[in-house]
Chains A and B, each alone.
Chain A
């Protein structure tokens, strides 16, 4: 079974600093996709960044970037120049398709606090 593990229940960072959220996953597949979602207090699920496993280049979206280590099954999220609006729960997720069936598996979440 696929599992996704976020080992940091809570993280905090000073505004304008950089923070890295960790995520590891377990799979025997070679073709899959990884995502980071942000959940602010409004409970809305917002896509932050995605990574295709077949791509070696790490994905980047403005201040957000990932460190994708396929062999280590690691997918960490780096937030640069942290802003107060980055405070939220962050979920790492793994997605693949097997015989037409979709599977989207989430980690436990990391609550990020930004200190002004």
Chain B
């Protein structure tokens, strides 16, 4: 079964304590991305990766780090979390569609609800 797996699903942490949210996919997709979802703002892209060792900033990268050492994994790292990073986080893969067109939908993980106190 095609899956994007995020862990943990829920996390409460304290300000400044480093944390990592893991994301793993079994579809061999090259492109992976992290989003955060906030009320009234929709989903905003944090970072994306086009392939192993290739990452780039999205629209709201401040306070986050990522790495892509292998194709299947794309962890999101918060070195020093702050309360404004309290949010719902999604990992997603975007496969290529037929004939190289980007007409296929994204595959999403289950989401991680992060609370920073």
Chain A contact residues, CB within 8 Å of chain B: 4, 6, 9, 33, 35, 37, 43-45, 47, 50, 52, 91, 95-97, 100-102, 104-109
Contacts and interface: CB of A to CB of B under 8 A. Distances in A.
B102 to A, nearest CB: 5
Main SS at interface, chain B = strand
A23 B90 CA distance: 22
Contacts, number: 57
Contacts of B111: 43-44
B3 to A, nearest CB: 12
A108 B41 contact: yes
Main SS at interface, chain A = strand
Range of interface residues on chain B? 20 to 34
A22 to B, nearest CB: 14
Contacts of A6: 42
* A37, A43, A102: residue with the most chain B Cβ atoms closer than 10 Å: A102
B40 A108 contact: yes
Nearest to A51: B103
A47 B105 contact: yes
A69 B106 CA distance: 23
Interface in B5-60: 31, 33, 35, 40-45, 48, 50, 56
30 contacts: A6-B42, A33-B101, A33-B102, A33-B103, A37-B105, A43-B88, A43-B111, A45-B90, A45-B106, A45-B108, A47-B105, A50-B103, A91-B42, A95-B106, A97-B102, A101-B48, A101-B50, A102-B31, A102-B33, A102-B50, A102-B94, A102-B102, A104-B33, A104-B92, A104-B94, A104-B106, A105-B45, A106-B35, A106-B43, A106-B44
